[in-house]
Structure 1
């Protein structure tokens, strides 16, 4: 997805406050002995009870984070006071005010590390309150389109808010613009959801009906025609990525294995005679890196990665986000006006 179509969902402290409502509904198959009229209310009541149970289980693990003049959300990761959130929530700040779901206790926290390339960060509470509850992590491989999900966080400054929807798609690769505090990250395997994701939801929890965290809400889609939010299209970082990055930050204080494929080049977008993006020019290659080992040189213009057309640095980043370190891929390029093709074993960013 083009960077212009998504934006981060961080909430300025001074933003206006709106009401957020929780909706739900379902149809059920009646038992033989029950009439359709009696079975439908029972199914709705059962689903309502499921929602309420999930909220009771998960909401104590969701916190509000104030970073400078902005508000976002976070999820308690363990009983040692680590909280995972989005990199754009913490921004350039090092210290934070954290409010627990009940709103009765405000705590302070310090940055452990931020990893903008994957839009994740970990902060640590200065004092761990009694009864702090870590979220239960789900399994990304079991997330399916059509699953009912709840998004929890601080949308529009309203702490401990919950919205409901379904998993609309999985495996999305989404790019975020750098303007207005965005990190410019290109993130693969994102979970798309219809649950309302509003400014302030960033870093919160996307959970299933088993009370398991399946993603961290991060981006909302923007209507390219109208420029406003595209309702019902939000994106969450999958829990598998959250766990990989958070575990490394907690253990080593930084990310040592990104899991992100790389060519080992610096590059710029090339425009054609009509001023349209038409490829990626290699500015430099890392010594001993994948591109150099395959014979790619500065000045080459990359036009394809595998079967994917490459027209810009952003399209190259999105193609690489869908690949894995160690994977072999064909790179098509122009050199002196002549087309060439080499096989590259991708490295790690």
Structure 2
């Protein structure tokens, strides 16, 4: 798509110049030249629009058969066929506590049965497996998240509000977002892809696709606007990047669980504490994992964490988001109070 549009713009530039030059020249043929140039420019624009429409239709034809609807304990979501063995990747909040599910493919009303392989709420991902793999089931192709660029066109495919095989269109609005889910799994997820493609209830677990027919993310949630009663904020949706999806799904399929999360951990159990004005003031350490990062740094139960590196920590959510921006093995500092005195300790972050 970017190549197509760029090509159109390169063509339109010289044509626009021709129109201006024609309009400035004298002679009775100037009107004819101007009309001819205008018609040529319009033809380029029409061809560009036609090419874009063809791109959309091609991508939908390629990918939509790999997007399924998942019925789980009264809830409805979407999933993406991961391989030809019947594995389907979706969100952990779609499967919930369920163990068995009903699955409907894009081109059939027949209901297929599936079972849970493993759910990983920390990254809001899960893998389920069809009990019987129907003929013609097509696995989606997952792209490289590191190559996703702001401005590229995306299509979101899924079952919003129960409307199966629905497609919405937008662009990549931003990359590298760290987002905390206010409901569902409650996970804090780093490096999410932000998109303007409409993400509605039921889209969760579906596919965010580029114009190369590759899945670049799993739509997971839409932003809400607190000023309007936490209603959905139009055009602000988030998807788990494809590279993380592959990392988690491959481990689940191979080992039945996540063995290497890549998620950073401090190795504590904590709770938000408030000050005398009832404002969040830090994270009280309730328990310290033996041998974990905090334990090795000398942090103890009863300490109140107020900073991680250069980031102020006031709540559990802010600590989780700060950790999500780090990598296991990173060295940083933890600021905390103990018996009313501020202390700072160097820490090598561990893995969740």
**TM-score, normalisation: structure 2:** 0.89
1:139 CA displacement: 0.3
1:37 CA displacement: 1.6
1:103 CA displacement: 2.9
Structure with greater helix percent:
2
- Other structure's SS at 1:192 match: strand
**Mapping 1:57-96, distance limit 5 Å:** 57-96=62-101
- Other structure's SS at 1:341 match: strand
Larger radius of gyration: 2
- Whole-angstrom distance in 2 between the partners of 1:37 and 1:147: 24
- Whole-angstrom distance in 2 between the partners of 1:248 and 1:62: 21
1:297 CA displacement: 1.1
- Whole-angstrom distance in 1 between the partners of 2:62 and 2:103: 20
Q: Work out which of the residue numbers 333, 336, 339 in structure 1 matches 2:339.
A: 336
Could you tell me which residue of structure 1 aligns to residue 26 of structure 2?
none
1:288 CA displacement: 1.4
Structure 2 gaps of 5+ residues are 16-36
1:68 CA displacement: 1.5
CA deviation vs aligned residue, 1:211-242 (integer Å, no higher than 9, x gap) = 00000000001011002110000000000110
Could you tell me which residue of structure 2 aligns to residue 3 of structure 1?
none
- Other structure's SS at 2:228 match: coil
Could you tell me which residue of structure 2 aligns to residue 256 of structure 1?
259
CA deviation vs aligned residue, 1:277-313 (integer Å, no higher than 9, x gap) = 0111111111111111111111111111010110001
Task: Confirm or deny that 1:197 pairs with 2:202.
Answer: no
Could you tell me which residue of structure 1 aligns to residue 29 of structure 2?
none
- Larger relative contact order (CA 8 Å, sep ≥ 6): 1
**Mapping 1:306-321, distance limit 5 Å:** 306-321=309-324
- Whole-angstrom distance in 2 between the partners of 1:128 and 1:284: 46
Q: Work out which of the residue numbers 54, 76, 100 in structure 1 matches 2:105.
A: 100
Q: In angstroms, what is the RMSD of aligned CA positions?
A: 1.4
Q: Work out which of the residue numbers 35, 47, 53 in structure 1 matches 2:52.
A: 47
Alignment size in residue pairs: 322
- Whole-angstrom distance in 2 between the partners of 1:140 and 1:175: 20
Could you tell me which residue of structure 1 aligns to residue 31 of structure 2?
none
Task: Confirm or deny that 1:303 pairs with 2:314.
Answer: no
Q: Single out whichever of 46-55 and 98-107 deviates more from structure 2.
A: 98-107
Structure 1 gaps of 5+ residues are 1-25
Could you tell me which residue of structure 2 aligns to residue 269 of structure 1?
272
CA deviation vs aligned residue, 1:130-184 (integer Å, no higher than 9, x gap) = 1111000100110010010000000111100000000000000000123xxx111
CA deviation vs aligned residue, 1:316-346 (integer Å, no higher than 9, x gap) = 0111111111111111111111111111111
Could you tell me which residue of structure 2 aligns to residue 241 of structure 1?
244
Could you tell me which residue of structure 2 aligns to residue 132 of structure 1?
137
- Other structure's SS at 1:279 match: strand
